[in-house]
């Protein structure tokens, strides 16, 4: 229900809203002030004193591994295509797929190659889905980002969060794939320690967020978890809007016409409305803390609109981690940390709360690592300044997706309500895939609670209902084989992988074409 305003602003979606991947040939020539950090004199393998180089290496390994698997799909399919008229094609294709990609290619997608050309669109979608499924399984089985709820990292972060005066961290980044790594990379927060709900334009649903707030408070009263309702901690709601330092007027937020001041203002307005809703609807001093963050999708640096202790935030006043990075680059650790705290205090429009300063300080330190991460990996800002997502994720869940430009999110219960978000995703993928004659891969996910009788069956029905609504809304694409779906559910009470419950590529669904 958060998209109503977006839905009304049709004009917004008609602008230059879904630019395709855009490779910067020569970032060094850029005159943008924000890119100075990446200039050659600093790019000598040295890091900022606060950068966690080990963690950067781990994250790099994970990102290049997973994205590499998606990037192998097209070259691999070209090889398969070249083999399709050979007599032993079916066996060869299956064997190659198994040996090179560890995937079992099903007969029904290839066994008609002798009589008609392979449906490469279907095969492409199949490989995207299987690659997602493979990496998703590994995520839940192996915890490659070391962010599971029982890890030292998660436990430490949760106790840190509480020490800052917060008992829940609830983050809404934009649905844009260039923010899909906000939690695990840009902000370096253990994924299990944060509630993430991505929405186009970062415009989260107020009613649903109030429901989450009520559930959180009820648990504190009933179970004393994560802490007792008597503790004076607060629910912290964060909005992350985004902008592009490389191409500010074309590669910013689609939902806000690539205008970062509009994006920031809309995010702040939604945050304030959420707080007012809680304050007006519940007695006894009920309230929430708010935080507004902007993310530069080219450098992953952030700007934080530091709130004063009376929760005042100013749209054109922020602290920039890129500025901090530059200022403290040659400092000692201690002095760098002190400077950060000082800059946070100075940046607030009034006296800032100590817990909030502590929390923001942690985010800034974490983000400094990420600035170095991007710089080292790409020898400058990201080469893919625009969209380069691999699939659209629709539904409720996707706890395992934490890579930039991997997934465009469309968190929704129904297509009827979530259509404006989903439409943006489809538009992006028309540019990315359909323009290259490739289909739009949509993974549908509904998490459920295994403790609730019937919840699993309802999650399956939800997948099917949403799948049907998608097939109907984008029927032209579906009929052309230019949109495929992959239905998955997951028990959120277990640390186990998702379960596949259907796909437009199943033999039955394929018969329809």
Binding site for a copy of itself (CB under 8 A): 1, 4, 7-8, 206-207, 211, 214-215, 217-218, 221-223, 229, 273, 276-277, 280-284, 286, 413-417, 449, 451-455, 457-458, 461-462, 465, 469
Q: Find the helix or strand (DSSP H, E) in which 20 lies.
A: none
For residue 472, the tally of other CB atoms under 10 A from its CB is 10
For a copy of itself, the closer CB: 75 or 453: 453
User: What are the residues whose beta carbons fall under 8 Å from the beta carbon of 168, sequence distance 6 or more?
Assistant: 195, 216, 226, 235, 236
Q: How far is the CB of 199 from a copy of itself (least distance, A)?
A: 14
Taking the alpha carbons at both ends of the chain, their separation in whole angstroms is 34
Picking from 389, 324, 335, the residue whose alpha carbon sits closest to that of residue 360 is 324
The C-alpha R_g of the chain, in whole angstroms, comes to: 23
Measured from the CB of residue 253, what is the shortest distance to a copy of itself in angstroms? 20
Nearer residue to a copy of itself within complex by CB, 116 or 222: 222
Three-state secondary structure readout of 158-213: HHHHHHCCEEEEEEEEECCHHHCCHHHHHCCCCHHHCEECCEHHHCCCHHHHHHHH
Nearest approach, Cβ of residue 503 and a copy of itself (Å) = 20
Residue 341 Cα to chain centre, angstroms: 28
219: its two tokens: 């648990």
- Report the distance separating Cα 382 and Cα 179, nearest Å: 13
| Measured distance CA(381)–CA(460) in Å, rounded | 41
Residue 137: CB atoms within 10 A of its CB come to 14
Neighbours of 65 (CB within 10 A): 12
Written as six digits, the tokens of 310 are: 């009376």
Distance in Å, CB of 438 to a copy of itself, minimum: 28
Closest separation in Å from C-beta 454 to a copy of itself: 5
Query: Is 294 exposed, middle or buried (CB count within 10 Å of its CB: 0-12, 13-18, 19+)?
Result: buried
CB of 458 to a copy of itself, least distance (A): 6
d(CA 53, CA 51): 6
Written as six digits, the tokens of 383 are 């080469």
For a copy of itself, which is the closer residue by CB, 327 or 413? 413
| Closer residue to a copy of itself, CB minimum distance, 203 or 443 | 203
88 carries an active-site annotation? no
Sequence-distant (6+) residues with CB within 8 A of 65 are none
Q: Please work out, in degrees rounded to the nearest 5, the angle formed at the alpha carbon of residue 159 by the alpha carbons of 314 and 328.
A: 50
Element at 380 (helix H, strand E)? none
CB 50 to a copy of itself: min, Å = 40
Nearer to a copy of itself, 249 or 461 (CB): 461
Under 8 Å between Cβ of 306 and 360: yes
Could you tell me the smallest distance in angstroms from the CB atom of residue 232 to a copy of itself? Answer: 15
Cβ distance to a copy of itself smaller for residue 390 or 411? 411
Cα–Cα separations (whole angstroms), residue 138 to 62, 129, 142, 435, 496: 11, 14, 5, 32, 10
Which tokens hold the place of 503? 């796909």
- In a 3-state reduction of DSSP, which class is residue 62? helix
Q: In angstroms, what is the minimal distance from the CB of 441 to a copy of itself?
A: 22
Q: CB of residue 31 vs a copy of itself: minimum separation in angstroms? A: 41
Instruction: CB nearer to a copy of itself: give 49 or 286.
Output: 286
Q: Which of 52, 119, 176, 296 is catalytic?
A: 176
Strand locations in 71-114, DSSP E?
none
Among 207, 172, 122, which residue's Cα sits nearest to residue 421?
Answer: 172
The alpha carbon of residue 452 and the mean position of all alpha carbons in its chain are separated, in whole angstroms, by 28
Nearer to a copy of itself, 374 or 469 (CB): 469
Residues carrying an active site annotation? 176
């Amino acid at each position: 229900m958060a998209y109503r305003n977006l839905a009304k602003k049709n004009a917004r979606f008609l602008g230059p809203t879904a630019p395709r991947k855009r490779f910067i040939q020569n970032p060094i020539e850029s005159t943008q002030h924000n890119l100075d950090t990446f200039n050659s004199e600093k790019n000598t393998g040295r890091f900022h004193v606060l950068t966690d180089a080990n963690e950067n290496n781990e994250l790099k390994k994970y990102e290049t591994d997973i994205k590499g698997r998606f990037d192998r799909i097209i070259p691999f399919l070209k090889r398969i295509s070249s083999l399709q008229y050979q007599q032993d094609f079916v066996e060869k294709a299956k064997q190659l797929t198994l040996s090179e990609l560890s995937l079992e290619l099903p007969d029904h997608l290839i066994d008609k190659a002798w009589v008609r050309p392979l449906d490469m669109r279907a095969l492409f979608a199949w490989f995207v889905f299987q690659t997602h499924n493979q990496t998703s399984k590994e995520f839940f089985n192996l915890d490659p980002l070391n962010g599971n709820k029982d890890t030292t990292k998660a436990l430490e972060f949760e106790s840190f969060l509480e020490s800052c005066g917060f008992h829940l961290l609830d983050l809404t980044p934009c649905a844009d794939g260039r923010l899909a790594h906000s939690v695990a990379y840009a902000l370096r927060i253990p994924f299990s320690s944060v509630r993430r709900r991505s929405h186009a334009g970062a415009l989260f649903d107020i009613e649903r967020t109030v429901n989450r707030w009520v559930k959180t408070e009820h648990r504190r009263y009933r179970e004393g978890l994560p802490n007792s309702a008597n503790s004076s901690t607060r629910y912290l709601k964060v909005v992350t809007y985004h902008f592009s330092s490389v191409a500010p007027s074309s590669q910013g937020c689609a939902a806000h016409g690539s205008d970062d001041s509009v994006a920031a203002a809309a995010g702040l307005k939604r945050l304030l409305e959420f707080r007012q809703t809680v304050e007006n609807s519940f007695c006894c001093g009920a309230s929430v803390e708010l935080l507004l963050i902007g993310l530069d999708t080219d450098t992953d640096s952030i700007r934080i609109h530091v709130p004063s202790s009376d929760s005042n935030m100013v749209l054109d006043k922020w602290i920039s981690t890129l500025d901090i990075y530059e200022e403290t680059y040659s400092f000692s650790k201690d002095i760098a940390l002190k400077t950060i705290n000082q800059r946070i205090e100075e940046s607030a429009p009034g006296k800032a709360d100590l817990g909030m300063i502590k929390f923001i300080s942690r985010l800034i330190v974490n983000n400094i690592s990420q600035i170095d991460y991007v710089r080292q990996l790409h020898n400058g800002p990201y080469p893919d300044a625009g969209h380069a997502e691999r699939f659209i994720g629709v539904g409720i869940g996707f706890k395992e997706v934490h890579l930039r430009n991997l997934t465009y999110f469309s968190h929704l219960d129904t297509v009827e309500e979530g259509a404006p978000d989903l439409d943006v995703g489809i538009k992006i993928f028309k540019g990315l895939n359909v323009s290259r004659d490739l289909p739009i891969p949509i993974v549908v996910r509904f998490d459920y609670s295994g403790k609730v009788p019937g919840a699993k069956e309802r999650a399956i029905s939800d997948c099917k209902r949403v799948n049907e609504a998608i097939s109907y809304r984008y029927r032209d694409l579906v009929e052309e084989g230019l949109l495929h779906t992959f239905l998955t559910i997951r028990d959120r009470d277990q640390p186990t992988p998702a379960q596949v419950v259907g796909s437009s590529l199943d033999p039955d669904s394929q018969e329809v074409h």
